[in-house]
Amino acid sequence: MIFASNFLKKCFIFFVISCLTVTSELSAGEGKSYIEGEVLIQLRQQDYAVTDRRTRILKALDVDVIKNLRDNVYLVRPAKDESAVSAARRLGKYPDIEFAEPNYKRYIKSVTPNDPLFYSQWALENIQSGDAWEIQKGDAGIIVALPDTGIDYTHKDLKNNLWKNGGEDWSASGPGYNGIDDDGDGYIDNYFGINSITGSGDPMDDEGHGTHIAGIIGGEGDNSIGISGVNWRVSLMGVKFIRAVDGSGSIADEIEAIQFATSNGAKVVNMSFSGNYFSEIERYAIENARNVLFIAAAGNEIMNNDYMPNYPADYKLPNIISVAASNQSDELAFFSNQGSNTISVAAPGVNILSTVPGDDYCSLSGTSMATGYVTGLAALVLAKSPYSSVADLKDRILRTVDTNADLQDKILTGGRINAYRALTESITGPYIYNISPDRGPTGSEVSIQGTCFGGTAGHVIFEADLEAAIISWTNEKIVCLVPEGAATGSIYVETSGGLTSNGLNFEVTFYPAMGRIAFPYINVESGRSSFIFLSNPLDYSITVEAFAVGSSGDNTLKFMSIDPFGKIIMDIKGFGILNEPFSLDCSSEELFGAAILTIKEDVGEVMFLPHLIFRGIR
């Protein structure tokens, strides 16, 4: 007993020191992740045209309206003495407001430029573009939008592949010379896109990031100039919302950019930016554009997105592909985020040569660049099959990757994109990408991620032909229980239509969870950032099961693997239960520790919830 007591004390000290170290890093990190003095609100859907309530509602909020982003979404300015976080908290309590949040920032995701002599386009060969071009080189009828720092629309390698607004008067000498909003869309001379920061029609790039991504997607091919993009022909739409001064853009300006893009025919939207804060309004804008595929950068923080989400890449939406970066050896790039449950694919993102403003070229690295390659591939697939649905387009990209050992357990698909395979291979039936966890006792919950499972529940079959009880079923995710009598072996999915998936191995263990730590109440109101800390004091890896249940009954199950003597820090928002308090139960077959850290953003207060518990060996 003395040994056990001293052992637990050491574990406790190890865990608290680890937590305080990370807390210090969080507190000393970047400045405010939102624009002070600005709040985004979304009114509840009502027939305002008939009731004429909208004006009265806005007047009662004690705010100034900066702009109306769409019918029921507004960017507002609170009173001068009220912080954005406090105002969002106050406004969120009004019954007529569905969401209220600070106007969060999103940041571009490129890394420091490399040696300018290292000029090569190794990535095109890596994804087998040459073979793909024998089948399809691209089509100017495919519109790709780039919410970013803009595009240098005068660049010699891009100017012939730009989207052109047919509603504007092209008899003028060029952008800016007409001075008239010919098409009545609110933007003057928006020949090639818009600038949602200034509200103008000029998306000229003043930073370079957007132009670099544009070249990856659609630098003109076979023109004896510079480089070639994944598409020799395409229509690149510039929708500038990111400022050059600090590489950030606001959610409000991003929403305006997305709305313009989707209203003007964009079928693919490249999102080479991210941020740590979940935005209901950003998520809604993406979800609402159901017929558009969004390709999003996973981030360059060397983090695991399963535990520390990056948005918009980590929104659980069927029209998002999240992208990690790989190097020339098909390994995960040293800077790239990973996540076997959250990041869809990898693509080349190291030493990528592409266009920059001023008819120039340079090499950059980042998940931004990797995202550009996946976006380019999506456009190439659409050029070959222009009537593909978003689901079909996403499946074709994810199910034709080149898998390898380094990317397994780091990326959902375990592979890097292949352009030739995406254009040529047959894609049919259900497919399993990932089982989490891949081991557990009978009666435990298992999450199966994949595609083409269908909207109606079918069957999950374990070894020995035993059928699992289904907890939930969607087209891309199934949660089930390990059936009694199950043995170690393959798991298959059978759809309601009788189609059978590939099989993945599952190990059945024969011992129950050893310990449980419960957090009965976690507050997720605006202005609070909460994190769960999990610690492994043992010299071998362990798995912790975390089950979150919201007050409405909404629930999420996550399985977290912790390295020997390691720790995991996960943003509570990663459970996806928002705008309502929830409980959290953590359990494991092994010894582990857990704590909740909450940060009050408006006052900078950091505190632990009093639920730090270590389980002893029984």
For residues 44 and 135, give the distance between their C-alpha atoms in angstroms, rounded to a whole number: 48
Quote the pLDDT of residue 28: 32
Mean local confidence (pLDDT), 403-429: 94
In the predicted structure, residue 114 carries a pLDDT above the cut 90: no
Looking at residue 174, its amino acid is G
Q: What pLDDT, in 10s, does the model give residues 135-162?
A: 999 999 999 999 999 999 999 999 999 9
CB 256 within 8 A of CB 196: yes
Quote the pLDDT of residue 480: 93
Q: What pLDDT, in 10s, does the model give residues 222-281?
A: 888 889 999 999 999 999 999 998 889 999 999 999 999 999 999 999 999 999 888 999
Catalytic residue among 235, 250, 365, 368, which? 368
Quote the pLDDT of residue 61: 84
Asked whether this chain's domains 2-30+514-614 and 431-509 adopt the same fold, the reply is no
Quote the pLDDT of residue 175: 52
* Domain 431-509 of CATH type 2.60.40.10: yes
Give the alpha-carbon dihedral of 410, 414, 416, 418, to 10 degrees: -170
Quote the pLDDT of residue 520: 77
Residue 509 backbone dihedrals phi, psi, to 5 degrees: -100, 165
Catalytic residue among 209, 354, 526, 530, which? 209
In the predicted structure, residue 544 carries a pLDDT above the cut 50: yes
Q: Does residue 368 carry a catalytic annotation?
A: yes
In the predicted structure, residue 29 carries a pLDDT above the cut 90: no
Tell me which of 26-40, 92-106, 165-179 is least confident.
Answer: 26-40
Quote the pLDDT of residue 31: 57
Length, in residues, of the chain = 618
Looking at residue 573, its amino acid is K
Percent of the chain surpassing pLDDT 70: 86
- At a CB cut-off of 8 Å and minimum separation 6, what does 409 contact? 340
Quote the pLDDT of residue 438: 87
Tell me which of 56-65, 182-191, 480-489 is least confident.
Answer: 56-65
CB 379 within 8 A of CB 144: yes
Mean local confidence (pLDDT), 178-198: 90
CA-to-CA dists, residue 508 to 106, 288, 432, 462, angstroms: 43, 41, 19, 10
Q: pTM for the whole thing?
A: 0.77
Band of pLDDT at residue 9, cut at 50, 70 and 90: very low
Helix 280-288 × helix 251-263 angle, to 10°: 10
For residues 616 and 536, give the distance between their C-alpha atoms in angstroms, rounded to a whole number: 13
Q: Where are the domains of the chain?
A: 2-30+514-614, 34-105, 122-157+193-424, 431-509
In the predicted structure, residue 604 carries a pLDDT above the cut 60: no
Task: For 26-63, give the DSSP string.
Answer: HHTS-S-SEEEEEEEEEEPP--HHHH--HHHHHHHTT-
Band of pLDDT at residue 608, cut at 50, 70 and 90: very low
Q: What pLDDT, in 10s, does the model give residues 520-538?
A: 778 776 667 788 888 887 7
For residues 268 and 249, give the distance between their C-alpha atoms in angstroms, rounded to a whole number: 20
Quote the pLDDT of residue 527: 66
CB 239 within 8 A of CB 146: yes
Architecture of domain 2-30+514-614: Sandwich (2.60)
Quote the pLDDT of residue 515: 72
For residues 453 and 499, give the distance between their C-alpha atoms in angstroms, rounded to a whole number: 9
Structure tokens at 493: 């999915």
Quote the pLDDT of residue 462: 95
Band of pLDDT at residue 382, cut at 50, 70 and 90: very high
Quote the pLDDT of residue 514: 60
Q: Does residue 228 carry a catalytic annotation?
A: no
Element housing 85 (H / E): helix 84-91
Quote the pLDDT of residue 109: 60
In the predicted structure, residue 49 carries a pLDDT above the cut 60: no
For residues 556 and 170, give the distance between their C-alpha atoms in angstroms, rounded to a whole number: 53
CB 87 within 8 A of CB 101: no
Catalytic residue among 148, 205, 314, 402, which? 148
In the predicted structure, residue 547 carries a pLDDT above the cut 60: yes
Please name which of 11, 6, 3, 2 lies closest in space to residue 538, comparing C-alpha atoms.
11
Looking at residue 610, its amino acid is P
Q: What pLDDT, in 10s, does the model give residues 333-343?
A: 999 999 999 99
Mean local confidence (pLDDT), 423-452: 91
Quote the pLDDT of residue 231: 95
Band of pLDDT at residue 601, cut at 50, 70 and 90: low
Class of 122-157+193-424 in CATH: alpha beta
Percent of the chain surpassing pLDDT 90: 51
Mean local confidence (pLDDT), 487-498: 94
Q: What pLDDT, in 10s, does the model give residues 306-355?
A: 888 899 999 999 999 999 999 999 999 999 999 999 999 999 999 999 99
In the predicted structure, residue 107 carries a pLDDT above the cut 90: no
Quote the pLDDT of residue 452: 95
Band of pLDDT at residue 570, cut at 50, 70 and 90: confident
* Domain 34-105 of CATH type 3.30.70.80: yes
Please name which of 107, 125, 155 lies closest in space to residue 277, comparing C-alpha atoms.
107
Element housing 588 (H / E): strand 582-588
CB 441 within 8 A of CB 449: no
Comparison of pLDDT for 4 and 133, the residue scoring more: 133
Quote the pLDDT of residue 6: 40
For residues 264 and 143, give the distance between their C-alpha atoms in angstroms, rounded to a whole number: 9
Q: Which conformational region is residue 28 in: left (phi greater than 0), alpha (psi within -120 to 50 degrees), or beta?
A: alpha
Collapsed DSSP state (helix, strand, coil) of residue 551 = coil
CA-to-CA dists, residue 522 to 518, 551, 596, angstroms: 11, 10, 9
